[in-house]
Amino acid sequence: MKVKPSFTLSQPDCCSDTTLPRVSVPAAEARRVLGRSGVEASALGLGCWAIGGPFGPGGTPWGWGEVDDAESIRAIRRGLELGVTFFDTADVYGTGHSEQILGEALGADPDRVVVATKFGHTFEEGTGRTLGTDVSAAYVRRAFDASLRRLGRDRIDLYQLHLGDLALDAADDVASVLEDLCDEGKIRAYGWSTDDPERAARWASHDRCVAVQHTLNVFDDAPDVLRVCEEHGLASINRGPLAMGLLSGKFDAGSRVASNDVRASNADWLEYFRDGRPAPAFLEKLAAISEVLTSDGRTPVQGALGWIWARSGRTIPITGFKTVAQVEENARALARGPLTQQQLHEVESLLGRG
């Protein structure tokens, strides 16, 4: 099985930069519990890949271009105002910069949020240079301590393995280290960022493994991983909920992203973009379902998120962002809630999935 590299998490599925009016805090029922942990979070998360800025191996862009740190901090705090309490990052994003900015933004009020980060990629902190991978027990502990320092926290709520295709035997060794960190009170729970249902199920027997992070969007369903989450009571944390921004509706056949944007990298796992341009096949799919997604006054972003919530009550889509306006539009989806089952079936029919 070919597994996408799981650093593709938290894609900044950016919506329009148009300034939106202030919106009210979403209803309290727009919440999720992370598996069996009892940890409660908002049903929408903010993915912090983009705010890390440029990074990658040997000139290959893994980031989403240049960032404005002050705007990133404002956006995170605006998300809190709108009821978003789940924030997902990774130590490798911007080679530590994303964690640092998230920690700064949340520093004044860390207790009412749920912070998730990931480990497994090695890098030179602050340089933008990635090196390789390491999941040895000694490295996992060093990576954990470094993440705590950058985040400015005394524990991490959800600590996730970031290597989606790690061999099962090696993953068992990693789980043992994470169990020890739970026993020591350093992490509340852990999970695996993987698109492989076999790997997801492998860790599901551990009570303190509470989540699987995987790709899920209206173009890219994941019934087998969702089945694992349902059977084992795990949270389904969804990377790429807006298909790297394509589902925002702001791209057309003439659009092109910047050369330092990951969508211009031509990585073999990229589906929605090629040569920095949106893939025509996916633009056609979006046109086919656009009317359903935008029904009931939703924007395309809100419709795409509504599809995910309708797909499973365990889902927590994590939308990327670089601006306050993007966070505002994403957060407004909480008040809209899931699509109806009729709308869900209509989308499936239009996409030829039954």
Q: What is the mean pLDDT of the chain?
A: 91
327-342 tens-digit pLDDT: 999 999 999 999 999 9
* pLDDT attached to residue 141: 98
CB 12 within 8 A of CB 49: yes
pLDDT at 108 over 90: no
In the block, tokens 């999935």 appear at: 353
Q: Which among 181, 117, 128, 123 is positioned nearest to 152, based on CA atoms?
A: 117
* pLDDT attached to residue 97: 98
Pairing of strands 315-320, 45-47: parallel
Q: What share of the chain is helix, strand, coil (3-state, %, to 5)?
A: 40, 20, 40
* pLDDT attached to residue 112: 85
3-state class (DSSP) for residue 318: strand
pTM: 0.91
Max Cα distance, the chain (Å):
53
* pLDDT attached to residue 109: 63
CA–CA distance, 105 with 107 (Å, rounded to integer): 6
Residue 238 pairs with which residues in a beta bridge? 214, 317
142-159 tens-digit pLDDT: 999 999 999 999 999 999
* pLDDT attached to residue 30: 85
Q: Which helix (H) or strand (E) holds 129?
A: strand 129-133
CA–CA distance, 90 with 320 (Å, rounded to integer): 13
Amino acid at position 124, single letter: E
* pLDDT attached to residue 232: 96
* pLDDT attached to residue 59: 80
Cα 82 to Cα 77, 164, 222, 315, 338: the distances in Å are 9, 32, 29, 19, 18
Q: Which among 110, 97, 87 is positioned nearest to 10, based on CA atoms?
A: 87
Q: What percent of the chain has pLDDT over 70?
A: 91
Q: How many helices (H) and strands (E) would you count in the chain?
A: 10, 14
Q: Which residue segments constitute the domains of the chain, with CATH numbers given?
A: 6-18+27-252+312-337 (3.20.20.100)
Burial (0-12, 13-18, 19+ Cβ within 10 Å), 244:
buried
Q: What percent of the chain has pLDDT over 90?
A: 86
Cα 334 to Cα 81, 110, 157: the distances in Å are 13, 22, 22
Once rounded to an integer, what is the mean pLDDT over residues 156-177?
Answer: 98
Q: Which helix (H) or strand (E) holds 31?
A: strand 31-33
